[in-house]
Amino acid sequence: MKTFLTLCLSFFLFTSCVDESNKNETKVVETSNNVSEDPLPSWNEGNTKTAIMDYVQDVTNETSENFIPEIDRIATFDNDGNLWSEQPAYFQLFFAIDRVKQLAPDYPEWKNTQPYQSILEDDLNTLMSFGEKGLLEIIMATHSGLSTEAFEKIVKDWLMVAKHPRFNKPYNELIYQPMLELLDYLRANNFKTFIVSGGGIEFMRPWVEDAYGIPKDQVVGSSIATEYDYNNGSPVIKRLPKIDFIDDKAGKPVGINRFIGRKPVFASGNSDGDLQMLQWTDSNRYKSFQLYLHHTDADREWAYDRDSHIGKLDQGLDEAREKGWTVINMKEDWKIIYPFQKSK
C-alpha cells in the first residue's frame, strides 16, 4: 500500500475505461497437470531459465546436499510488476479512481471537495498535488465503509468491466505468462506458492485464485482494519477507514513471518520494495533463490528501473549483482508477456 501511496501518478496519462459490454470473467488457471515436457515454454533458453531449473532440480533431489524437505519449500511472489503489470499506474489506483466516479452521485459535495474534485474533473496533476495524504483519503473513501463480502463483489464487478488504457484488456489479463509457468513449475515440485504484495489483500483475493492458482489464504498484502458485527444474526465483517498493515519493504519479512511463519527459500520481486523480502530469503539456512524481474521491454510491456516512480529498482539491482541473485531481463528472457499472446 505504501508504494501505492507514493507519487505514482507522475506517469499518469489515461482515461478511465469502463466498458459495460464485456461481462465475461477471464479465467486463467494453470494447473500442474498442464505442464508439458518443458515446464517453462514461454522462457527463452539462457542463463535465467537454466538458473531457475538447476535450483529446483537440486533442492528437490533427495540425494543432493541441498535437498529441502517439502514443508520448507515456501516460495513468495510480489504481485504488482511481478505477476501482473503495474504501468502506467498501480491497477489498484485505477480501481480507486473508478470507484470515486461510481460513488460520486451519492456524494454531491465531492464536486467541490478535494481530492475528489480533481478525479471527477480528470485533473490528475491536481490530484498529485495532494500527495500521500490525498491518496490515503481516496483509499479510505473507496476501500472502507462496507462489508468484506460487498467489497469482494465490487472488485469482481470492476474487473469484468474496466479495461487497461494501453492494451484495452481487463486488468486481470495483464498477468505474465512466464510467471504463471514458473508458479506451476514450483507447485509441481511441491513448493507452496504465496503472494506477498504491497497491494491490498482484499483487492487481490477476489481474483488471484483464478489468475494464478494461489488460494486466498496464501495471499499476504496490505490491509485496512476490520471489525466483526453480529448484526442481529447475519454477521458481517466491516471494513474500517484505518490502515492496519503495510506489506512493503521491511513490512514484507514481517508479513511473511506473521502469515506464513516460515522463511521462504524462493523469493521473486521486481522493485526495491521487495529487497527486504529477498534479503530475508537469502538468509535461509537452506539453499535459497532470489529472483528479480527487470522491466526492459518498452515495446511489449514497459522499460523502467532506477528512476521510475512506480516499481523503482535501484538498490535492488545493485544488490542482485553484488550477491549473484538472478535477474530476469524481460526483453531477452521472455518469449511472450501475456497469456493472450500465446499462439493457439
CB atoms within 10 A of CB 275: 23
Residue whose C-alpha is closest to residue 199's, from 210, 212, 208, 190: 208
39 prior amide bond cis, ω within 30: no
Residues 117, 123, 124, 129, CA torsion sign: negative
Q: Coil, strand, or helix at residue 329?
A: strand
Q: What angle do CA 222, 323, 293 make, to 5 degrees?
A: 50
Nearest-approach distance from CB 181 to a copy of itself, in angstroms: 22
* Residues numbered 176-195 forming contacts with a copy of itself, rule: CB under 8 A: 192, 194
Where do the H-state alpha helices sit in the chain? 47-59, 91-103, 116-120, 124-129, 131-143, 148-161, 177-188, 201-212, 251-259, 275-282, 315-323, 330-333
Which lies closer to a copy of itself via its Cβ, residue 230 or residue 324? 230
Q: Which of 50, 64, 148, 190 binds a copy of itself (CB under 8 A)?
A: 148
Which lies closer to a copy of itself via its Cβ, residue 142 or residue 223? 223
Q: Which of 226, 335, 336, 339 binds a copy of itself (CB under 8 A)?
A: 226
Q: What's the grid cell of residue 110?
A: 465531492
Q: Are 174 and 115 in contact (CB under 8 A)?
A: no
Contact between 271 and a copy of itself (CB under 8 A)? Answer: no
Question: Which residues are within 8 A (CB) of 225 and not within 5 positions of it... i.e. 6 or more apart?
Answer: 239, 240, 242, 243, 244
CB atoms within 10 A of CB 217: 9
Contact between 24 and a copy of itself (CB under 8 A)? Answer: no
Contact pattern for a copy of itself over residues 102 through 141, marking x by CB under 8 A: ----------------------------------------
Contact between 228 and a copy of itself (CB under 8 A)? Answer: yes
Contact between 216 and a copy of itself (CB under 8 A)? Answer: yes
* Residues numbered 30-89 forming contacts with a copy of itself, rule: CB under 8 A: 71, 74
Which lies closer to a copy of itself via its Cβ, residue 157 or residue 209? 209
Q: Are 328 and 48 in contact (CB under 8 A)?
A: yes
Q: Which of 28, 160, 188, 250 binds a copy of itself (CB under 8 A)?
A: 250
Which lies closer to a copy of itself via its Cβ, residue 57 or residue 283? 283
Q: Which of 49, 143, 187, 205 binds a copy of itself (CB under 8 A)?
A: 205
Nearest-approach distance from CB 74 to a copy of itself, in angstroms: 8
The window from 30-38, 46-54, 272-280, 294-302 that contacts a copy of itself (CB under 8 A) reads 272-280
* Residues engaged in binding a copy of itself (CB under 8 A): 71, 74, 148, 192, 194, 201-202, 205, 209, 215-219, 223, 226-228, 230, 233-235, 237, 250-254, 257-262, 276, 279-280, 283
